[in-house]
Amino acid sequence: MSGLFKAISRQMSNSSDLSAVSSAAGSGREAITTQFSKGRVDTCGVYRHLSPQEENLLADFWEKLLDDFDKPLRSIDCDPIAPPVDYDDEQERKKAKDAEENSPFEVFDGCMYNQTVAARCKELGVVPDKEGGELVPAFASAMDMGKVTLREAFWAAIREDHPDVLVLRFLRARKWDLDKAYRMAIAAVKWRVTERVQEIIWYGDTANDASLMWKGVSYAHGKDKLGHPIIWSGSCLHHQKDQSYPQLKRYLIWMMETLRQLLSPPIERVCLIMDLTDHSNSNMDWPFVKTFLKFLEAYYPECLGICIVYNGPWWFSGVWKLISPLLDPVVASKVQFAQKPEGLLKFIDAKELLEIRGGKDKYVYKYAMPEPSENKLMFDAEARQYAVKKLDLAHDEFVRATIEWTDSKEAGNDDGFAAAATKRIELSDLVVSAACGLDKYTRARHFYHRTGVLSGGVVDWTKVQELSTSAPAKFDL
């Protein structure tokens, strides 16, 4: 288990030799415990909260990015992209399919091994009367690594984020070392193409392993005292044998992409609670742990605000005490331990803490199944194409303003640089608006739409529905 903590440490701290400029950037970051004691989130290096040095480095990143924008993605140098485990996805899918057909078994509450949510819904009669009986139309827009440009792949990675938000994640992760941050970002963009992340978003949780969704192995609910969304991960619900590795990897990517919708600057990180109540050796899944940490480290950097290990074995904290002195104090503070509800209440208000863990929130996870026609807009190809054109225009306007911004910096035109920066912020808002307009045509509605938590781009945890006793939440199509 010490390997787990070491991996977490690597994810949260990437030391490097920095120039004087990059050393100045990012200085003053506060330990998470300090942030909780002050009752405010640290905005150092976050979108719209940049120092002059940080804004200059952001401009340098964009200049480098735009120089490569129309090059083939595969031609651009990047960090190595190595799989976290030595598995062949195709072979693993074949093994899972063989097991499904030749030796089927029930995993949880009627969900069979290797059964998707869509397949389980068909068994339960949740099938649209129209659209050929499918919950989601077929995906037909996969990117070809041999043909796609950086421009196409980059904007696909941005999705509904402000463009600078994603760029700043990589700069912060590499301690504002421009070249290292750029190579890291290009690797992440390439990885998204290889893993067909757009397709995962398209089908949403309908293509996830049904047992993972019905069990609620991991889910978001509520927020901590700093406003970070809380991710509850109960290890006792997870067993490696219950799903194939490709399905587990798909679930992780879907979860991380979905969580992006629950974040908005300056709240750009989550509170992860590793709930080890009733944990046993049968719940340990090293391929899952390695994959999760690799994704956090390389492809979704700067997303973890705090990790609270709850109700773990006595020796967990002992191992961490041996490792933590070797780390930067800001990094070390991100892992906290709690054995009782009082420990959780240091970071989470009682009204936000689940009642089953000593708080006052009576919420109990129950999977909200897809509604038959919730994705009807995804079948409207004409409307989707109109939304694509609108977003393309917003992207082009933003790029032009960014070129004006970087040119002003190079020319030493401080007034022009400031004016262009203001214009970029206004255009960034328009990019987000256009991207959200396209989202409903390119992303299947998911659990957090159905429960009412996410509606019109607004996150409201008070809207969550007890679907077993009330009507399903209404959400914007």
Host H or E run for residue 397:
helix 381-410
Q: What percent of the chain has pLDDT over 90?
A: 75
* pLDDT 10s digits, 201-226: 999 999 999 999 999 999 999 999 99
* pLDDT 10s digits, 99-122: 999 999 999 999 999 999 999 999
358 band by pLDDT with thresholds 50, 70 and 90: very high
Q: Residue 124 is encoded by which pair of tokens? A: 């339960």
Task: Using the predicted structure, report yes or no on whether residue 471 has a pLDDT greater than 50.
Answer: no
Paired strand residues for 275: 234, 310
How distant, in Å, are the alpha carbons of 13, 149, 153, 191, 449 from that of 195? 25, 16, 12, 6, 24
Per-position b or e across 410-443, b if 16+ CB within 10 A of its CB: eeeeeeebeebbebbeebbebbbebbbbbbbbbb
How confident is the model at residue 285, as a pLDDT?
A: 85
How confident is the model at residue 324, as a pLDDT?
A: 74
How distant, in Å, are the alpha carbons of 6, 49, 51, 152, 429 from that of 164? 30, 12, 14, 16, 11
24 band by pLDDT with thresholds 50, 70 and 90: low
Do the strands 270-275 and 229-234 form a parallel or antiparallel pair, or are they unpaired?
A: parallel
Tell me the pLDDT of the chain averaged across its residues.
90
Please tell me the distance from the alpha carbon of residue 150 to that of residue 75, in angstroms, as a whole number.
9
Task: Using the predicted structure, report yes or no on whether residue 470 has a pLDDT greater than 50.
Answer: no
How confident is the model at residue 181, as a pLDDT?
A: 98
How confident is the model at residue 398, as a pLDDT?
A: 98
What's the mean pLDDT in 55-79?
A: 98
How confident is the model at residue 127, as a pLDDT?
A: 84
**Tally of CB atoms within 10 A around 351:** 9
How distant, in Å, are the alpha carbons of 61, 233, 294 from that of 271? 29, 11, 18
Paired strand residues for 454: 459
* pLDDT 10s digits, 130-181: 767 899 999 988 899 999 999 999 999 999 999 999 999 999 999 999 999 9
How confident is the model at residue 411, as a pLDDT?
A: 97
How confident is the model at residue 43, as a pLDDT?
A: 95
**Tally of CB atoms within 10 A around 29:** 16
- Of residues 288 and 25, more confidence is placed in 288
How confident is the model at residue 140, as a pLDDT?
A: 85
Q: Residue 403 is encoded by which pair of tokens? A: 């070129």
Give Cβ neighbours of residue 202 (< 8 Å, ≥ 6 apart).
Answer: 136, 139, 141, 378, 442, 443, 444
Decide if 224 contacts 310 (C-beta within 8 A).
no
How confident is the model at residue 293, as a pLDDT?
A: 86
What's the mean pLDDT in 242-268?
A: 96
What's the mean pLDDT in 313-333?
A: 74
Highest mean pLDDT among 7-11, 256-260, 279-283: 256-260
Q: Which amino acid is at 35?
A: Q
Task: Using the predicted structure, report yes or no on whether residue 19 has a pLDDT greater than 50.
Answer: no
How confident is the model at residue 468, as a pLDDT?
A: 37
**Is residue 165 exposed (0-12), middle (13-18) or buried (19+ Cβ within 10 Å)?**
buried
How distant, in Å, are the alpha carbons of 71, 177, 344, 396, 473 from that of 400? 18, 25, 47, 6, 41
Task: Using the predicted structure, report yes or no on whether residue 18 has a pLDDT greater than 70.
Answer: no
How distant, in Å, are the alpha carbons of 283, 307, 320, 352 from that of 230? 22, 10, 22, 9
Phi, psi angles (nearest 5°) of residue 209: -60, 125
